[in-house]
Amino acid sequence: MKFTSTDVPGVIVIEPTVHRDERGFFVETYHAPRYAAGGVPAVFVQDNHSRSTRGTLRGLHGQHPRAQGKLVRAVRGAVWDVAVDVRRGSPAYGRFAAAELSEENFRQMYVPPGVIHGFCVLSDVAEIEYKCTDVYHPEDDFSVLWNDPDLAIPWPVRDPLLSEKDRNAPRLRDSQDKLVAYRDPGPP
């Protein structure tokens, strides 16, 4: 299992070991002690499953004050997964990390609390599953505009399918009251 830190503190790309043979494959998708040793010390309390069609973009989403950390993986198709550091005082504030997650590469991305998250679908259909470190509280949910020019995220889609909420989300600079303070995640 390989854990790769990104330029955003606490955001980690995980590449599990996949055992393949003529019957198919076996992969361990979560193992608390191994993940903690790799820099993901989270305790997960909720699992979610999302299905979307090609060109769908979901995000950028966060929660405040009860921020969720997320361990994201694609179980069908492929997505371009993005995590943006919006923690007040973070040395990486406004920077993003991105990775392609797919049913073929088995990659996962850990997005720590206080980092907002989004993804766009690269395949005809994609299903993602993600573990969360806190239960969802609708009153804590907020969004940041997916194509905020201050973030300059090079999304691999020009005219995405968006929810009304995501289409009308404010820019990051207009969302300062929703941001959590940065806490150094420490070494992986």
**Whole-model pTM?**
0.94
Question: What fold, for 2-178?
Answer: Jelly Rolls (2.60.120)
By the 8 A CB rule, do 9 and 85 touch?
A: yes
Residue 186 confidence (pLDDT): 65
Of the two residues 176 and 163, the one the predictor is more confident about is: 163
Residue 184 confidence (pLDDT): 72
Instruction: Give me the active site residues, please.
Output: 61, 130
Residues ≥6 apart with Cβ < 8 Å to 139: none
Please state, rounded to an integer, the average pLDDT across all residues of the chain.
95
> Across-strand partners of 57?
120
The pLDDT > 70 percentage for the chain reads 98
- Could you give the CA distance from residue 40 to residue 38 in angstroms, rounded to a whole number? 6
Residue 11 pLDDT greater than 90, yes or no: yes
Q: What is the pLDDT of residues 91-108, one digit of tens each?
A: 999 999 999 999 999 999
* Residue written as token pair 């003529």: 22
Of the two residues 32 and 187, the one the predictor is more confident about is: 32
Give the phi and the psi of residue 140 in degrees, each rounded to 5: -95, -10
Residue 177 confidence (pLDDT): 84
Residue 42 confidence (pLDDT): 82
Q: What is the pLDDT of residues 54-82, one digit of tens each?
A: 999 999 999 999 999 999 999 999 999 99
By the 8 A CB rule, do 129 and 150 touch?
A: no
pLDDT level of residue 185 (50, 70, 90 thresholds): low
Residue 187 pLDDT greater than 70, yes or no: no
- What is the mean predicted confidence (pLDDT) over 35-53? 95
